[in-house]
Amino acid sequence: MKARGLPLWRRVVRAVRRQPGWAAAVAVLGVLTLLAASANHHLTGRANESAKQRGMEDAARAQTDAWRDYGVQIQAASDALAAEDPDQADAVLEQTPEAFRGWEYDWLKWRATQHHAIWASPDGQHGGLASVDLSPDGGLVASGGGNGWLWLNRMASGEILGSTNLLGRKGINSVRFSPDNQRIITASQDGTAVIVATEGLRVLHRLTGHDAPVNAACFLDDGGRCVTAGADGSVRLWDAGSGEEMIQAVPGHPPEAIHDLAPSPDGTRLAAAGHAGSLWILSATNATLLQSWSGHAGPARAVAWSPDGARLASAGSTGDVYLWEVSTRERLRALSRGSGPTYRLAWSSDGQWLAGACNEGRVLVWNVENGEQAKPLTGHDGKVSGVVFTGNSGRLISSGFDSTLRVWTLRSTAGHFQQPTEGEQRTTAIVVGNNGRLLVRGDVSGRISVHELPGLKAESSFAAHEKNVSALALSSEAQWLASASLDGTLRLWKGLRGELAAELLRGEEVVRDVCFSPDGRLLAAAGNNGTATLWNVAEAQLLRRLEPPEPSRIRVGEVLFSSDGRLLIAREARGRVGLWDVDTGSWRGFLGDPSQDGKATALALGTGTTVLVGYGHGTVTVWQVETMT
């Protein structure tokens, strides 16, 4: 009984003394248990550490892959803009990850969604453009110059189709097409209006009768009549077929100069803007005054009807832009106040947007429903004299006293237009390399800049070409940099500090794209002459010129090596994708049939021996380059 009452430690000691072998076994077992637990803890720790390391490596690889993909997208957007396809560029940019977007995205987005083309007259003969109009079928653009020149451009390309001097040194104030596109009427500073045939710009009639400059003129109905308004305060209706005056009216009492005139969408009414700030609504049938009111404190410069004819927009010389309910003459909204003169207004066909031609090189665009102003469209040097929307409201054409026409693409209608940071030159080429850690860009001045990613810290910058950098490529380890320019040069640089290794081409042809082989030994270049060239990088030697069986002389827009480096894949401007064997230079054929598959607009490497081809109709096809299927 007493033994049972002994403390536990005493009983353990007594048991050890009586059974030493058993105690030793227990001790050994305890030690082994402790060792096993320690080992298990150590192994678990190592496993957790390894898993953590693998997770970090996977995350780093994913980040690198994401930056590489972003670089491919940026390059594709840049290529699309170089190929004058802003729609494709915008579609590519919309797919980029928002977290990666920096100045390069902002600049390309601005180019894709806003500024599409600049058209200038030969030798600057316009003397400043005073007006612009788009033909009803959307195919032609007419513009009138400050020194009497009338110009006709093709809308799709900007190509000048014709020009003529109508007035000697007197300026043209306004140009408008007839509803059937066959004629153009001009309002002139010499007090006349001139009707010319669109075909050949032949003068058909000179309308005389105004005692002062004619500020506005347009066709009525189906083009059988036309109307003019001038600084003498009169509105005159004319027979457009004979050139005879039919009716004369003076809406202002006392008369005041009329600066602008616009027919309503249904052709039954005319809106006019007066020098004393008056706004008038007249009958288009007989010029009878229907309504009048004081719209502006100073001169009213411009008027424009909404597409439904219910509202009128007016602009004054003090910068005020107002919206009016025509039936009640009630002012609905003030869109702008005191921002400088607005010389012309244009309403988009969907009624959502109003554009104004303003001073200081600005085109202003407002959302009509909420009155919000988009970021100004800038680029003209000096006064913007005219604006007109295309039929689908997707583009806006402006004319300026800098003798240029500018075509703006306005898909980004929320007004989030991005422009380059002050001091930066416009980016024309971009490439991401060194496992996503470097971004290299070329600009319109021919300069190349190198930046670290992420963060875009500037690493180096050097003058590379005399004109736009048209293409860039980095070897896999960033040991070599290739650059091409619109000056016709192709240059190879050692490293990224501006050390010129070789000039491969010198003014022979414009290279649109360049790329290195996966091992960095070869360089491929795509030229405007329908061929691709292959170069030995280390020796800076031309290995061969690659041509399809029947050279089309259509420029090659993009080149890409297969992932194993054995094939060169090329996309030409016509939309076909072809392959060459790199070792032999032999032609392998085209991927698919453009007549069935559509026009190819972009290339990218897939996994293994596959290549991804993007098509203009919005699909992407994965091709096996070995079997061409």
Yes or no: say if 293 and 306 are a contact pair by the CB < 8 Å rule. Answer: no
Yes or no: say if 174 and 187 are a contact pair by the CB < 8 Å rule. Answer: yes
Q: Which residues contact 418 (CB under 8 A, 6 or more apart)?
A: 106, 107, 109, 110
- 67 falls within a domain: no
The dihedral through the CA atoms of 370, 373, 374, 380 has a sign that is: positive
| DSSP-derived 3-state class of residue 400 | strand
The token pair that represents 250 in the structure block: 């003076």
d(C-alpha 437, C-alpha 431), whole Å: 11
Which residues on neighbouring strands pair with residue 183, listed in sequence order? 197
Taking the complete model, does pTM exceed 0.85, yes or no? no
Yes or no: say if 119 and 149 are a contact pair by the CB < 8 Å rule. Answer: no
> In the chain, count of helices (H) and strands (E)?
5, 47
Yes or no: say if 150 and 172 are a contact pair by the CB < 8 Å rule. Answer: yes
Q: How far is CA 68 from CA 262, 437, 449, 559, in A?
A: 53, 9, 18, 17
Domain membership of residue 333 as a residue range: 119-409
Residue that finishes a domain, picked among 387, 409, 431: 409
Peptide bond into 254 cis (omega under 30): yes
For residue 65, which phi and psi values (nearest 5 degrees)? -60, -40
d(C-alpha 232, C-alpha 331), whole Å: 28
Tell me, yes or no, whether 266 and 153 share the same domain. yes
Place of tokens 């490497």: 605
Tell me, yes or no, whether 405 and 521 share the same domain. no
What is the DSSP-derived secondary structure letter of residue 555?
P
- 486 falls within a domain: no
Residue that finishes a domain, picked among 386, 409, 432: 409
* Best CA proximity match to 132, nearest among 395, 368, 319, 433: 395
Tell me, yes or no, whether 135 and 253 share the same domain. yes
The angle subtended at Cα 470 by Cα 467 and Cα 474, nearest 5°, is 120
- 193 falls within a domain: yes
Q: Would you list the DSSP string of 325-363?
A: ETTTTEEEEEEE-SSS-EEEEEE-TTSSEEEEEESTTEE
d(C-alpha 503, C-alpha 239), whole Å: 66
d(C-alpha 516, C-alpha 565), whole Å: 9
- 166 falls within a domain: yes
pLDDT in tens, 380-415: 888 899 999 887 656 788 888 888 888 887 654 333
| DSSP-derived 3-state class of residue 282 | strand
Tell me, yes or no, whether 392 and 517 share the same domain. no
Residue 463, Cβ neighbours under 10 Å: how many?
Answer: 10
d(C-alpha 137, C-alpha 142), whole Å: 13
pLDDT recorded at residue 19: 61
To the nearest 10 degrees (0 to 180), the angle between helices 20-82 and 103-113 is: 30
Tell me, yes or no, whether 262 and 388 share the same domain. yes
> HSE of 534 in the Cβ direction (CA atoms, 13 Å)?
23
Residue 409, Cβ neighbours under 10 Å: how many?
Answer: 20
d(C-alpha 481, C-alpha 590), whole Å: 29
| Domains held by the chain: number | 2
- 594 falls within a domain: yes
Instruction: CATH number of the domain at 290, please.
Output: 2.130.10.10
Tell me, yes or no, whether 306 and 157 share the same domain. yes
Place of tokens 């000096």: 382
- 382 falls within a domain: yes
Which residues on neighbouring strands pair with residue 174, listed in sequence order? 187
Which residue ranges in the chain fall short of pLDDT 50?
Answer: 1-3, 116, 122-124, 126, 412-423, 554
d(C-alpha 341, C-alpha 435), whole Å: 52
* H or E segment and range at residue 47: helix 20-82
- 490 falls within a domain: no
Place of tokens 């030798």: 123
- 524 falls within a domain: yes
Yes or no: say if 512 and 82 are a contact pair by the CB < 8 Å rule. Answer: yes
pLDDT recorded at residue 412: 44
| DSSP-derived 3-state class of residue 330 | strand
Q: From start to end of 7-98, where are the E strands?
A: none
Residue that finishes a domain, picked among 409, 437, 468: 409
Tell me, yes or no, whether 351 and 204 share the same domain. yes
pLDDT in tens, 197-244: 999 999 999 999 999 999 999 999 889 999 999 999 999 999 999 999
Yes or no: say if 405 and 118 are a contact pair by the CB < 8 Å rule. Answer: yes
* H or E segment and range at residue 82: helix 20-82
Tell me, yes or no, whether 336 and 226 share the same domain. yes
pLDDT in tens, 89-127: 878 888 888 877 766 676 677 666 655 466 655 444 546
Tell me, yes or no, whether 519 and 402 share the same domain. no
Q: How far is CA 90 from CA 74, 78, 207, 587, in A?
A: 10, 10, 47, 33
Which residues on neighbouring strands pair with residue 269, listed in sequence order? 283
Chain centroid to CA 547: how far?
32
Tell me, yes or no, whether 240 and 366 share the same domain. yes
| DSSP-derived 3-state class of residue 231 | coil
pLDDT recorded at residue 1: 43
Chain centroid to CA 33: how far?
72
What is the β-pairing status of strands 160-165 and 532-536? unpaired
